[in-house]
Structure 1
Amino acid sequence: MTIPVFYSISDDFTKYAAVSLNSLVKHADSEKDYTVYFLNQDLTPEHKEDLAALGNENVHVKFFHIDDELVKPIKNRKENYLRADFFTMSIFYRLFIPDLFPQYDKAIYIDSDTIVNDDISKLYATNLENNLFGACTDLSIQYVEKMVTYIRDVLALDPKKYINSGMLVLNCKAFREEHFIDHFMDLLEKYHFDCIAPDQDYLNEIGEGRILHLNPRWDAMPNENTAPISNPGLIHYNLFFKPWHFKNVQYEKYFWKSAQETKFYDELKQELDNYTDLQRQEDREKLNYMLEKEDKTFNDPHNWAQIKKQGSVTL
């Protein structure tokens, strides 16, 4: 039996994905078998080689090209912008995993801006029962008033149960049996919901009531409002405060320890050194810009909350 783990990346994210993959390999149980897939549309042959070289005899690295036709209905429109900032198709790849890989009844998905600090097979052992997926509450937004308001009043969800989609334990069998991707596409095409985190919002909405909330150590995110988790199993450098752009980021030591073991270490250190205070200020302003979207979506008569109130959408 192999433990399937999926990343979705664009070519410019390869160096960060390499650091994550290196950490996963380092913590993998030598007695178990793992297959790591990189879902992509534009990886260069050189970067494929760089990632494949990090595998070993029991961690197999493979690549899967996402066909344009598959994601054709997902348009580059403002309501599909990540963080209200830009469009990236790769955030949607994770939703297609169960249909693209029918050989798996369960799979793990993790973002590329992560560090694995424990054996990922422990996460895979999660008993999902009848839940669609397992994930962790998004603790990075619990102290951001506008995000809490957005989740409560625009999405009509409980902010304390709103999960982050950077780590998912997918019940692939249930996704297929219940035609999750067809349902997602129907909602996407019919309503054009204006979202701050498109893939994440849809997962929270469709999965409501059938999400297994996991121990927060499996999606530990840098947070300026809380103390760090002492034994994080997986660290997710969510939103803007990446350790390759900011110094003194919570959990940064785990990133640099793994980065040091890859060919990209010098390049990453240079990226940090060359990142200017002006760029950091712009990143902080992007957070504010993202939060401004809450005002607009709150007054949208076609937002999630209003459509659900009308009873015209079945999730």
Structure 2
Amino acid sequence: MTIPVFYTISDNYTPYAAVSIKSLINHADKNKDYTVTLLVQDISDAHKKDLEDLSTDNVHVNIFHISDDMVQPIHKGEENYLRGQFFTMSIFYRLFIPDLFPQYNKAVYLDADTIICTDISEMYDIEIGDNMFASCPDLSIRYMPLLQKYIKECQGIFPPEKYINNGVILFNMKAFRDKKFVDKFYYLMEKYHFDNLDPDQAYMNEICEDKIYHLDKEWDAMPNESMPEIKDPKIVHYNLFFKPWHFEDVQYGQYFWDVAKETKFYNELKDQLKNFTDEDRQRARDDLAKMAAKVDKIVDEEYTWAKVKKTESVRI
């Protein structure tokens, strides 16, 4: 038996994915087998080789190409812009993992901007019952009024603290297939064109609401300037603009660099940090203000999750 682990990336995210996979390998049990699959649409031959060359005797790294047909129905309009700022198709790939890999009834998904600090099989072995998936509540919401407003007034989820971050997922793959999650996703997207700050995450929260198993916070420790570091995190997730290759003083940053130095991308990543200017950093922080403006716009739209849920069930 193998433990399936998935990432979804665009080509430019190869260096960060390589560091994340290396951290997974460093903590993998030598007596267990792992299959790491990266879902992509386009990737250079060089980057494909870089990732596959990370493979070890018991950690097998593969590239899987997402077909254009599968993602063709996903609108590239502003309603599907990540954080209201840009469109990236790769965030949606995770929604298709259960259908694409019917040989697995359970699987782990990780964002590429993560560092694994323990054997990922510990997460895989968590029993989540008949829930659709397991993830951690998004701790950043607790300290950001604009996100509280978004979850309450746009998403209509109460309390907002139960809203999860889907950068770390333990999938009940069989439940996603049996409940036809993708069909529900396509139906809601085509009918309502919901405007979201976090399109893929919003659909997972809404369609699976109350069928989500909440993992302990150590499984998705995110840099947060309003709270101290979580002691002994199991997974570090550099969410939003808190990237160690952009900011020297990011919480949990040393976890990233300790692993990055073991990869061929170390010098490239150090150059990214050096070349990211103070103006670039300020623009990154200003993105939060843009998110706030987007929330005010969404609240007034004809169709929001909160409004639609008063007349139609969006849950599986």
Q: How many residues align?
A: 314
Residue 184 of structure 1 contacts residue 202 of structure 1 at CA under 8 Å; is this kept in 2? yes
CA distance in 2, matches of 1:253, 1:201: 31
Residue of structure 2 in register with 1:216 after alignment? 217
Counterpart residue identity of residue 3, structure 2: I
Residue of structure 2 in register with 1:15 after alignment? 15
CA distance in 2, matches of 1:128, 1:8: 23
Residue of structure 2 in register with 1:314 after alignment? 314
Residue of structure 2 in register with 1:77 after alignment? 77
Q: TM-score, normalised by structure 1?
A: 0.98
CA distance in 2, matches of 1:42, 1:72: 15
Which aligned segments of 4 or more residues in structure 1 are displaced greater than 3 angstroms? Answer: none
Alignment RMSD (CA, Å) = 0.7
Residue of structure 2 in register with 1:243 after alignment? 244
Residue of structure 1 in register with 2:228 after alignment? 227
Provide the secondary structure at the position in 1 that maps to 2:71. coil
Residue of structure 2 in register with 1:285 after alignment? 286
CA distance in 2, matches of 1:234, 1:154: 29
Counterpart residue identity of residue 210, structure 1: K
Residue of structure 2 in register with 1:88 after alignment? 88
Residue 105 of structure 2 contacts residue 174 of structure 2 at CA under 8 Å; is this kept in 1? yes
Residue 141 of structure 2 contacts residue 161 of structure 2 at CA under 8 Å; is this kept in 1? no
Note if 1:127 corresponds to 2:127.
yes
Residue of structure 2 in register with 1:68 after alignment? 68
Provide the secondary structure at the position in 2 that maps to 1:164. strand
Q: Deviations over 1:37-79 (max 9, x none)?
A: 0000111111111111112000000111000001100011100
Q: Deviations over 1:129-186 (max 9, x none)?
A: 1100000000122100010111011100021100001000000000001101000110
Q: Deviations over 1:177-216 (max 9, x none)?
A: 1101000110011100000000000100011110000011
Counterpart residue identity of residue 132, structure 1: M
Consecutive unaligned residues of structure 1, counting only runs of 5 or more, are none
Counterpart residue identity of residue 78, structure 2: K
For residues 40-51 of structure 1, what are the structure 2 equivalents within 5 Å?
A: 40-51=40-51
Provide the secondary structure at the position in 2 that maps to 1:69. helix
Consecutive unaligned residues of structure 2, counting only runs of 5 or more, are none
CA distance in 2, matches of 1:203, 1:26: 30
Counterpart residue identity of residue 126, structure 1: I
Residue of structure 2 in register with 1:3 after alignment? 3
Report the Cα offset of residue 312 of structure 1. Answer: 2.7
Note if 1:156 corresponds to 2:156.
yes
CA distance in 2, matches of 1:25, 1:84: 35
Note if 1:298 corresponds to 2:292.
no
CA distance in 1, matches of 2:108, 2:277: 36
Residue of structure 1 in register with 2:97 after alignment? 97
Report the Cα offset of residue 313 of structure 1. Answer: 4.1
Residue of structure 2 in register with 1:204 after alignment? 205
Residue of structure 2 in register with 1:114 after alignment? 114
Counterpart residue identity of residue 26, structure 2: K
Residue identity over aligned pairs, in percent, reads 55
Residue 134 of structure 2 contacts residue 171 of structure 2 at CA under 8 Å; is this kept in 1? yes
Provide the secondary structure at the position in 1 that maps to 2:143. coil
Report the Cα offset of residue 82 of structure 1. Answer: 0.4
Residue of structure 2 in register with 1:27 after alignment? 27
